[in-house]
Each structure stands twice: as C-alpha cells, then as structure tokens.
Amino acid sequence: MDLDALWLTFRLALTTTAILLCVGLPLAAWLAYGQSRLRPLVQALVALPLVLPPTVLGFYLLVLLGPTTAVGRVITTTLGHPLAFSFTGLLIGSLLYSLPFAVQPLVSGMMAIAPELREAAATLGARPSVVFVRVTMPLIRPSLLTAGILTFTHTIGEFGVVLMLGGNIPGATRTLSIALYDEVADFNFAAANRTALLLLAFSFVSLLLVHWRAGQRSTRLV
Amino acid sequence: MLKALLLLLLIPPVFGQTKPVELRIAAAADLQPVLEAVGPVYEKKANVHLLVSYAASSILVSQIISAGPGGPFDVFMGADFYFPEKVVAANLADTGSPIPYAKGTLVLWTRNGSPFNPLQLSALESSNLKSLAIADPEHAPYGRAAVEALKALKLQDKVKDHLVRAENVGQAGQFAFTGNAELAIISKTLAVSPKFKQSGTFVLFPFSSYNSITQTAVVLRSSAQRDAAHAFLNWFLSSEVQPHLPDLGLTPVK
Amino acid sequence: MSEPLLHEHITATLDSITIDVTVALRSPWTVLFGPSGSGKSTILRSIAGLRGGAPAWKRHIPLASQQAALFPHMTVKGNLEFGRELPTGDFKREQELHAERFQDLVRLFRISDLLERYPAQLSGGQAQRVSVARALMPRYSRLVLLDEPFTGLEQALRDELLLALKQWTREHRLPVLSVTHDVTEALLLEAEVIKLREGRIVAQGPAQEVLAEERLQLLRSLDGSRTFTL
C-alpha cells in the first residue's frame, strides 16, 4: 500500500473540499438568490466540468496556464515554477474539476428553502448576511454535508487531470489513482487490486453516508 | 431512362473498390509521427485502413494480455524487445520471437526560447534546471533508455529532484513543448516531427550511454487479419520504407 | 394624525390584473379589504420592501405573512426572539424592555406553553398566533403588516384576540395594516378600510361607511343566531 500516495490523495481531497465549500457558499447563494442576468451563464460554466473530459481540463491547464502564454508566465513568476508538476497545479485542477459537486447541492438546498422564511427574516430587520448565517445556513446543513462528501470523494478518484498535469512525482503529484495506473502498467496486479479495492470501498462508504443522511431528513424537521 | 439509372445504382459493387481491410495496430508512443507519415502511403497501396492506438508500451501490453485471445488489436508495434516479448511469453503472438523493424535513437530536446539554448548535454547539469521530463522508465522503453543514459553520464543524482515522469514518451515531449518542463528526453522520431522541429532543438545522447533500442513487433495469434498484419510489417521492413527511416528519426533494422 | 404615516405608490402585474394604487395610511389600524386575487398580499409585500425599493431589512416594517413562515430550526421562543434589535445605549434598559415586550405578547397570544416547541409541532392556528406575535416583537417598527392574521382561528378566540390586539397596538402606538376578506373583522376593529377591487382602490374610509353594504348583507344572512353589537 503506497502510503505516500494515500496521504497525498487525502491532502488534495481535504484541501479541495475546504476551499470549495468556502468559495461555493457565496457562489451558490448568488446563483440561488441573485437577480443578475448572468446567472444562467455562470450556472452552465459551473456545470461544465461534469461533462468535460478531465483530460481536456488538464490539457487546458497545461497549455493555457503554462509558460507559453502570458497568463501562464504570470503564474510561473508568482509561484516560482509552472503550474504543472506541483501540488498547487493539482489543487487548481481539482478545484475546477470538482466545482459542480460542491456548488450544485448547495444551490439545490438553498432553493429548497421557502422564500417566505428569508423574507420574514428580512422584514424582521435581518440584513442579508444575518439571514444567511441564521436562517439559510442551518437549513442547508444536509446539503453542506452532501456537497462536502461528494467533493471529497470525487477528488479522491480524480485521474485525468492529474495524469495530464502531474508528472507522477511521489509525494507531490502521485495520487492513489495514478499509483493504481502505474501498478497495472507494471503488471503488479496484486498491488493494483489492493489500491483499487481501497478506492472502491471508500467511494461506496461515502455514497452510503450521503444517502443515509438523505433518508434521515424525513424524520427531522430540517 | 429511369431504368438505366436504376441499373447504374446496382453496378458499383462490381466496378467499385472492395471494402478496405481494417488493421488495428497498437503502437508505442514514439511511432506516432512515423506512422502518421507512412501510414497513408500504405493504406492507399494495399487498400487497408489502419486504426492505430498510441500509448505507452506497458499499457498496451497490459491491455493485450488482459484481453487475451480475441483482443482489440491485430499488431503490436513496440519500442523495444522487452514488451513485445511479454506478449510472446503470454502465448498470444503468432511468432516465437518479436520481429525487429527499426532502431530508435534517444535525444534531449528543448523549446526555442528556453534558458538552455543553444542546447548541449551539459544543460542537464545546470543548477538552473527546474524540470526534466522523461517517459516513465517502468512503462516506456524510451524512459528506460533515458534513465540508462543519465546513469551512464553520471547525472542521475543531479537530476533526481527535477525528474518529471510522463505517461509515455509523447507526453514527455508535450511537457517540454508546452514549456512546463525545460528539457525532455524523448525519441528522435518525435524530435524530427514537424511540430517539434519547428519549435525546438535537440541533441543526441551518445549511443554508448544506453542499450541500443531495437524496436520490435508482434502479430496477435488470434487476429482475423494476420495475413494483412504480416503484409504490413513486411512492407515496413522492405526497401520502400527502411531507407527513409532516418528522415523519420529511426534507423534501419539492418 | 393628519400627516400620513405611509404614502406609497404601488404597481404590479399579477396573472390577470394590474395593480395600481397609492396607499396612504392615517389610522392606527387600517384594513385592506377585498376578494381573493385583488392584489392585497402583493401590496403588503411591496410595503414591506420585498418587491424592490429600499430593502426590507432597513424599513422597520415587519410582515406576518399568510403562511406563518416560522423558522423550522428554531423553537417558538427562538422565533420570537429573532428580531431582537441591537442594543443602543443602555444595554440593561434594552434588555428589560425586550423582556417586557416578550412577556406581554406571550400572554396576549396565549402561547406560554408553546415556547419550547418547534414549529412542526404546532397546529395551524398556533403557528399563526406565533407568527403574528413574532411580527410584533421588534420595538422600533413604524408599521406592522398582518396578512390574514386571524384566519384559521376559531371564532371565540379570534374575537378575544382581535380586541386585545387592537388595544395593545394603540397603547404601544404601533400602526397596523392588515389584510382580510372578513367583514366582521373589519367592523370589530373599527378600522379604516381600503377597499380593493381588481387592483384598484374603490373606496377608503371608516369601516362603517365603506362596508355598509356588506354589513347589511351580513345582518340579513344571520338568522339571529348570534347577537351582534357594534
């Protein structure tokens, strides 16, 4: 069992999830409650990674954010190295790749809140940030959990982007899925089996959690 | 008049082309520019349609072996002896030994505008080097050759921390092509292909620094197109192709 | 009061009607009267700030909507205390005043035994009472909007509550604008009535006058089964 790869994969998933939940909440609120005409466009962009082959995303990150473009050069100068072959590069890839898994459950949850509740809060004098913290957030707790679990699990399984961008550096970009791929390519099927089972078990448990939580909903008032 | 037209419609199967035979080729990544250049010539000549999948040798062999008889390919053109030999060992090849078809050459490549122009092998010793891309030595013959060369030139430790392992030699080239890696150790076939030629320069590694790369092929025993497969390999080994290999970055097998 | 405490022009388009009204409130209690679909709720929402203009949370005009809209994740007590304003100046005094108001309204609406319950555990009528009480909790409101506040309450309770509320709001100088389609309610409240029909104000004045016709119809339909005093 490649412990390095395991730890790296976990770090990547954890960091991605934390950042996406923080960024996703205001974005979801804007999508759910905003008035701007740009919303459908942003919604489509957010959903894009769902249908985009991960290799395409990886490719664009490699090329468009690589040292041959102006943007890429800025990034290279800022980071001190190109985006590729680094944990940062993977992180950015993951953030984009898992974005819809974080944002969409949040948007659904927010839209499921009866508007009268937020309106009542407003007429009682609560400014929008207070409404968000005291009314919206408590009521979307199940969605937050779903978003978190899905994002985490999805990132754990990420392969295409990492393959395109990672460079397979142990400890930095050699995630579990890459390790699995390597093990197969090395004809080390015993190890490959172990890694695959681990990934499978993990995904299954996560999905179980999500659905178990959803089932619980009917008994609680939130 | 109408009757004549209808008759005409019935005729094509007789006078028209017979349906081309489809030949499915699993090819090592370094062959992409080569097969893209010579493939169409053969297709026209032999009325064959070539369906080529490029990937790292180990991946292709993995697929072939797991699929067993009746697998997805008719021919496997590898970049060394070791991987096609595995197919033979798995009793899936129709010859007792892989068929050599060309010799490969290892080069160091860098992009125009990189800090290592004009390019020399000593660039590998530079302290400014951030990333050197090679194909994964476990999966790709050119990757293995790269490691051999680095060892022979006593550069292995120096570059250890800068090594970036690509899936296959094509991706190694891509990393350098996009500027993400400053240097890449790739096959000459890639280095002389139009895309790479236009955007960078290369230098050869001394032939003494790595075991010679003899590229071999096998025809799958269970293939329905074995005759067509051997015909193709024979053509590749013929004087129609071999003398032109140097232009494509390979050297003739004899 | 000669200077109107609220003067607003409201326009809207609902399914089949266009609303175009200028609402001017002068009385302690004004009733917006009209059949369903005449745009009453829309007008209330406009005044509350839920349809544009100055944002609702700045207006100090609480709205108790028709559907109770209690926060399901808070107890009744939590709901009531939601609108707790930031203390300005004397913290201790504010606490006292707030507590006083709380006790007042809990008593008035008879909800002291409901305080620890969650909205899901309340009946329709109970939820309604809590909703209205909650709208009355903020102490710096300039107006309170009640959308059908007594619908769903059984008659005896409604009558008591109505009169108690009328007195309480006068005492605390809190003007009210309520919506109803119940004639008796309007008459009992001795309110100023704004009569709406198809999105337009067709009459405005004391209940006795504006609803004279409806009152007559009501008296005729009552077979003397109930004594009716005004």
- Burial zone of C49 (CB within 10 Å; 0-12 exposed, 13-18 middle, 19+ buried): buried
Does A125 contact C85 at a Cβ distance shorter than 8 Å? Answer: yes
Does A185 contact B58 at a Cβ distance shorter than 8 Å? Answer: yes
Does C63 contact A123 at a Cβ distance shorter than 8 Å? Answer: yes
pLDDT of residue A220: 47
Distance CA A83, CA A57 (A): 13
pLDDT, mean of residues A15-31: 96
pLDDT of residue A148: 94
pLDDT of residue B101: 95
Give the minimum alpha-carbon distance from B36 to chain A in angstroms, rounded to a whole number: 22
State the DSSP code for B220: B
- Burial zone of B230 (CB within 10 Å; 0-12 exposed, 13-18 middle, 19+ buried): middle
Average pLDDT of chain C to the nearest whole number? 86
Residues in chain C with CB shorter than 8 Å from the CB of A122 are 49-50, 55-57
State which residue of chain A sits closest to B61, comparing Cα positions.
Answer: A185
Do residues C39 and C220 make contact, with C-beta atoms less than 8 angstroms apart?
no
State which residue of chain A sits closest to B175, comparing Cα positions.
Answer: A62
Least confident residue range of A134-143, A155-164, B99-108, B133-142: A155-164
Residues in chain A with CB shorter than 8 Å from the CB of C81 are none
pLDDT, mean of residues C65-72: 92
pLDDT of residue B7: 62
Chains B and C touch each other (3 or more Cβ pairs < 8 A): no
ipTM, interface predicted TM-score of the complex:
0.87
pLDDT, mean of residues B195-224: 94
Predicted confidence (pLDDT) per residue in B49-105, tens digit:
999 999 999 989 988 998 888 888 999 999 999 999 999 999 999 999 999 999 999
The full set of domain ranges for chain A reads 3-213
pLDDT, mean of residues C77-97: 81
pLDDT of residue C230: 47
Residues in chain A with CB shorter than 8 Å from the CB of C62 are 123-125
Residues in chain C with CB shorter than 8 Å from the CB of A125 are 57, 60, 62, 83, 85, 138
pLDDT of residue B1: 66
Angle between helices B169-177 and B141-152 (to 10 degrees): 70
Distance CA A139, CA A110 (A): 8
Average pLDDT of chain A to the nearest whole number? 89
Q: How confident is the model at residue C92 (pLDDT cuts 50, 70, 90)?
A: confident
Q: Tell me which amino acid residue A77 is.
A: T
pLDDT score of B171 more than 90: yes
Report CA-CA distances (Å) from A99 to A43, A45, A49, B125: 11, 10, 7, 41
pLDDT, mean of residues B17-39: 90
The answer to whether B202 contacts chain A (CB < 8 Å) is no
pLDDT score of A218 more than 60: no
Distance CA A58, CA A72 (A): 14
Distance CA C118, CA C95 (A): 24
CATH number, span A3-213: 1.10.3720.10
Does A66 contact B180 at a Cβ distance shorter than 8 Å? Answer: yes
pLDDT of residue B177: 93
pLDDT of residue A221: 41
N-to-C CA span, chain B: 62
pLDDT of residue A184: 84
pLDDT score of A30 more than 90: yes
pLDDT score of A219 more than 50: no
- C179, β-bridge pairs: C32, C147
Does C119 contact A138 at a Cβ distance shorter than 8 Å? Answer: no
All structural domains of chain B, each given as residue ranges with its CATH number in brackets, are 2-8+20-103+214-248 (3.40.190.10), 105-209 (3.40.190.10)
State the DSSP code for C118: -
pLDDT, mean of residues A171-197: 88
pLDDT of residue B10: 58
Q: Where in chain C is the domain with CATH 3.40.50.300?
A: 1-62+141-230
Average pLDDT of chain B to the nearest whole number? 91
pLDDT, mean of residues B138-143: 92
Does B179 contact A167 at a Cβ distance shorter than 8 Å? Answer: no
Class of domain C1-62+141-230: alpha beta
Do residues A17 and A148 make contact, with C-beta atoms less than 8 angstroms apart?
yes
Q: How confident is the model at residue C1 (pLDDT cuts 50, 70, 90)?
A: very low
Report CA-CA distances (Å) from A171 to A99, A161, A166, A175, A177: 24, 17, 11, 8, 13
pLDDT score of A89 more than 70: yes
Regarding beta strands B183-187 and C192-197, do their DSSP bridges make them parallel or antiparallel, or are they unpaired?
A: unpaired
Does B138 contact A187 at a Cβ distance shorter than 8 Å? Answer: no
Give the minimum alpha-carbon distance from A82 to chain B in angstroms, rounded to a whole number: 6
pLDDT of residue C224: 58
pLDDT score of B228 more than 50: yes
pLDDT of residue C123: 92
pLDDT score of C88 more than 70: no
Q: How confident is the model at residue A71 (pLDDT cuts 50, 70, 90)?
A: confident
Q: How confident is the model at residue C37 (pLDDT cuts 50, 70, 90)?
A: confident
Give the minimum alpha-carbon distance from A212 to chain B in angstroms, rounded to a whole number: 37
pLDDT, mean of residues B162-189: 93
In 3D, which of B101, B112, B49, B108 has the Cα closest to residue B78? B101
Predicted confidence (pLDDT) per residue in B96-138, tens digit:
999 999 999 999 999 998 889 899 999 999 988 999 999 999 8
Q: How many Cβ atoms are within 10 Å of B229's Cβ, its own excluded?
A: 25
pLDDT, mean of residues C38-44: 86
Question: Long-range contacts made by residues C94-99, C-beta under 8 angstroms, separation at least 24?
Answer: C97/C139, C98/C139
